[in-house]
């Protein structure tokens, strides 16, 4: 007989431990089914949610899902928990916490003050009791502001990552794609390249090229080459003009070891980037990427469902005060998120949970070509995230990444969403667009033809 039990439709369901409750309470997900963790029926799923709704929030402090002794991410979560910040909700159950999050009392100031008192497991638990509309409503109330050369997360703003990838890392091709994106107002969150190679010399070449473009056009933004953290440290040692340190992270020590990282290594990288003092409006120098299923694919999930492990990754991010965090929601494939329903749900979960923990969350609205999804589904997720106040979205030329071979959003998509929802780029970047003659008096970017002054000015300067 399990410690956790509930009756649904006359059938009693027993759950052996808290990990089982969390996994069975999750919305249907192909990754959890692959791992053998998912509920066997909708009735069992509902029973798990009933158990979860009555569970005190503080139970997650008393019962770690991953052992404290063997996992440094768990130790980070427990040892940095802010009891004073947690006090306002300490007496609540998970169900009561959901109701409070949706109340008028949970405004932006209250949520910001609460964030250090929440653990990933508490946040993952409450998200399992929330419908999509709840996830949007709560996330829209969270305000997380960070800065480097632009200020991100302000109300009424929607930033973007310009992703000018190239299959051979050709600097001229990347520079051309960068100029294309700038003409659509992209790049205020970051101009970020996924390199085709891990060669440090090639990484330095791209960093120098991006920095030259930034300085030539006096662009108030930050650049990043999304290489391994050890390469970034080596690039700094070689004197490269590095703005942000990038790293993919996961929610367990074992999964992070698979990425070749540890918390101490991330700390070393952050200190190296801070020593360069390249920021002008802030010192948030880290850029993290995450995604549901990463720990399962590394067989390092400890029997914890993939969404909860994903939220644990946000505890890693939070410890290093990042400028941006991005969940690459559909990139891992249908083995983990089978179709558009699962991808859309996961994108909203990740965004809301990250914001509740105090992170500047962006989303790569994307899918692989063998997933049951298409660009209409990306339109839906993009729009929902815009309403939910997403910090930034990622755009690639034509929505088709020619290096990583997956489908994302285009520059046009993000520009259209800004117009639809009346969202502006980061203030420093919006001012630059106006100075360059690329936006009109209303802050809109009009379509450009070949004779447009802004286009001729950029091309002439770029020549």
Instruction: For the chain, give every domain's residue range.
Output: 1-54, 146-436
Q: Which two tokens stand for residue 324?
A: 């941006």
Is the per-residue pLDDT at 439 higher than 80? yes
Query: Per the annotation, where are the binding residues for substrate?
Result: 161-163, 194, 289, 364
Is the per-residue pLDDT at 71 higher than 90? yes
Q: Which two tokens stand for residue 358?
A: 């105090």
Compute the distance between CA of residue 232 and CA of residue 135 in angstroms, rounded to an integer: 35
Closest CA to 456 of 442, 441, 443, 438: 438
Query: Per the annotation, where are the binding residues for adenosylcob(III)alamin?
Result: 195, 247, 297, 403
pLDDT digits (tens, 9 = 90+) for 263-307: 999 999 999 999 999 999 999 999 999 999 989 888 999 999 999
pLDDT digits (tens, 9 = 90+) for 335-377: 999 999 999 999 999 999 999 999 999 999 999 999 999 999 9
Query: Per the annotation, where are the binding residues?
Result: 161-163, 194-195, 247, 289, 297, 364, 403
Indicate whether this model's pTM tops 0.75. Answer: yes
Q: Which two tokens stand for residue 228?
A: 């391994």
**With bands split at pLDDT 50, 70 and 90, how would you rate the model's confidence at 148?**
very high
Compute the distance between CA of residue 316 and CA of residue 262 in angstroms, rounded to an integer: 10
What is 1-54's CATH number, 3.50.30.30, 3.30.497.10, 3.40.50.2300, 2.30.170.30?
Answer: 2.30.170.30
CATH topology of domain 146-436: TIM Barrel (3.20.20)
Strands 146-147 and 151-152: antiparallel
Instruction: Sort 9 into a burial class: Cβ within 10 Å, 0-12 / 13-18 / 19+.
Output: exposed
What's residue 443's pLDDT? Answer: 83
What's residue 448's pLDDT? Answer: 67
What's residue 379's pLDDT? Answer: 97
- 146-436 shares the fold of 1-54: no
Closest CA to 70 of 259, 333, 302: 302
Determine contact, residues 390/351, Cβ cutoff 8 Å.
Answer: yes
pLDDT digits (tens, 9 = 90+) for 162-177: 999 999 999 999 999 9
Is the per-residue pLDDT at 463 higher than 90? no
């Amino acid at each position: 007989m399990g410690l956790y039990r509930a009756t649904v439709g006359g059938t009693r369901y027993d759950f052996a431990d808290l990990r089982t409750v969390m996994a069975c309470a999750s919305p249907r997900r192909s990754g959890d089914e692959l791992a053998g963790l998912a509920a066997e029926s909708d009735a069992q799923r509902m029973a798990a949610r009933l158990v979860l709704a009555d569970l005190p929030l503080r139970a997650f402090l008393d019962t770690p899902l991953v052992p404290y002794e063997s996992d440094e991410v768990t130790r980070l979560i427990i040892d940095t928990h802010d009891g004073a910040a947690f006090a306002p909700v300490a007496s609540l159950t998970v169900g009561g916490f959901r109701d409070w999050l949706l109340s008028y009392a949970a405004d932006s100031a209250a949520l910001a003050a609460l964030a250090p008192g929440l653990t990933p497991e508490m946040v993952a638990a409450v998200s399992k009791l929330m419908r999509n509309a709840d996830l949007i409503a709560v996330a829209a109330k969270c305000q997380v502001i960070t800065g480097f050369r632009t200020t991100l997360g302000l109300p009424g703003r929607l930033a973007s990552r310009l992703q000018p990838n190239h299959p051979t890392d050709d600097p001229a091709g990347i520079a051309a794609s960068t100029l294309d994106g700038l003409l659509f107002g992209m790049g205020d969150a970051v101009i970020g390249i996924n390199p085709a190679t891990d060669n440090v010399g090639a990484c330095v070449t791209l960093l120098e090229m991006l920095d030259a473009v930034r300085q030539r056009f006096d662009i108030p933004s930050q650049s990043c080459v999304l290489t391994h953290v050890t390469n970034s440290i080596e690039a700094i040692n070689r004197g490269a003009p590095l703005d942000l340190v990038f790293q993919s992270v996961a929610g367990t020590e074992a999964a992070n070891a698979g990425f070749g990282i540890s918390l101490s290594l991330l700390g070393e990288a952050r200190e190296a980037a801070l020593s360069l003092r390249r920021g002008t409006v802030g010192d948030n120098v880290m850029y993290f990427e995450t995604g549901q299923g990463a720990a399962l694919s590394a067989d390092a999930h400890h029997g914890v469902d993939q969404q909860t492990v994903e939220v644990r990754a946000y505890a890693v991010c939070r410890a290093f005060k990042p400028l941006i965090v991005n969940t690459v929601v559909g990139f891992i494939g249908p083995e983990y998120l089978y179709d558009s329903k699962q991808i859309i749900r996961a994108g909203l979960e990740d965004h809301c949970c990250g914001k509740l923990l105090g992170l500047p969350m962006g989303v790569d609205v994307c899918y692989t070509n063998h997933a049951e999804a298409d660009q209409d589904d990306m339109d839906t997720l993009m729009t929902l995230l815009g309403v939910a106040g997403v910090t930034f979205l990622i755009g690639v030329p034509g929505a088709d990444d020619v290096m990583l071979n997956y489908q994302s959003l285009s520059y046009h998509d993000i520009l259209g969403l800004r117009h639809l929802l009346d969202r502006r780029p980061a203030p420093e970047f919006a001012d630059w667009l106006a100075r360059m003659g690329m936006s009109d008096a209303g802050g809109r970017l009009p379509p450009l033809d070949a004779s447009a002054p802004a286009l001729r000015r950029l091309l002439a300067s770029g020549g």
